[in-house]
Structures are given as structure tokens and as C-alpha cells.
Amino acid sequence: MRSFHLRPATREERQLATLWVAAVVSALVLRPVWIAIAPHFRTCTFRTLSGIPCPTCGTTRSALAMLDFDLVSAFLVNPLATLVGSTFVVGGAAALVWLIFGWPMPSFGLRWNRRWTIALVGIVVINWAYLIATH
């Protein structure tokens, strides 16, 4: 069983939380800029050459749908990009609350191992299969 305990946050962890909050706030504040420049992005070279979407196809459209607060459309375009983007925003909000209240840092005692790598690759492959099937 993994151990869970709370410990004081390091200076680097507080700095990382501050940067995370700043990145989320910047993404939201710059929403009009993202929407204005998105039509000028190049189309996917992999899809142009092969005829099938790449593992990240639809990420821009998903991000734009999230900026319009349309999570359903974002999820239908690219589920993994939507989950990652939502985690980014929710994590930024959690980091802000964590910084404001000065809470201790949770430590779960988890380490990256081969199973995590296999799971991550599996999630990417499943998402890619979804993109191929639906686009």
C-alpha cells in the first residue's frame, strides 16, 4: 500500500504553482488572440500526406471549443486533448487555491514505472483510434 502524508511545500513547488496559475490566466485572458490566429494555423501535414488524422489532430479545434466553453464539442473533436486541457485549467484553479491558503503538499509515494508508460501509450492509441474512426 502506498503511503500518503502531508509535508511543507518547497520553494520550487510554490513557484511551479504560480507559473501554472499564470499560464491558465494567460490562456483565458488571451482568448480573443487565440481565436483570431487559429484560422491561420497550418493544417496537419500527417493527415495531408496520409489521409488519416495524426494522434493530435483536432487539438486546436478542441482548444477553441473549450475557449467557447463548449466542452461537449471539444470532447467530440478530440477527447484526450479535452481531458488534458480541462486538467490544465482545473489544476490551475487548484494551484491558485493551494497558494492562497498555503496548504501543505500532499505526497502519495507514487513512482513512475513501466505500467504507467503502458497505460499512457494505451490511452494515446485508443484516442488515435477514435480520431481515425470519427474523422
Q: What is the pLDDT of residues 118-128, one digit of tens each?
A: 999 999 999 99
| % of residues, the chain, pLDDT over 70 | 99
Q: Taking residues 36-55, what's their average pLDDT?
A: 92
The pLDDT score that the predictor gives to residue 78 is 97
φ/ψ of 5, rounded to 5, equals: -155, 165
Amino acid at the residue 34:
W
The pLDDT score that the predictor gives to residue 109 is 77
Is residue 103 packed enough to be buried (19+ CB in 10 Å), middle (13-18) or exposed (0-12)?
A: exposed
The pLDDT score that the predictor gives to residue 2 is 62
Report the distance separating Cα 112 and Cα 65, nearest Å. 32
Say whether pLDDT at 134 is over 80.
Answer: yes
Q: Residue 61 — pLDDT band, cuts 50, 70, 90?
A: very high
Say whether pLDDT at 3 is over 80.
Answer: no
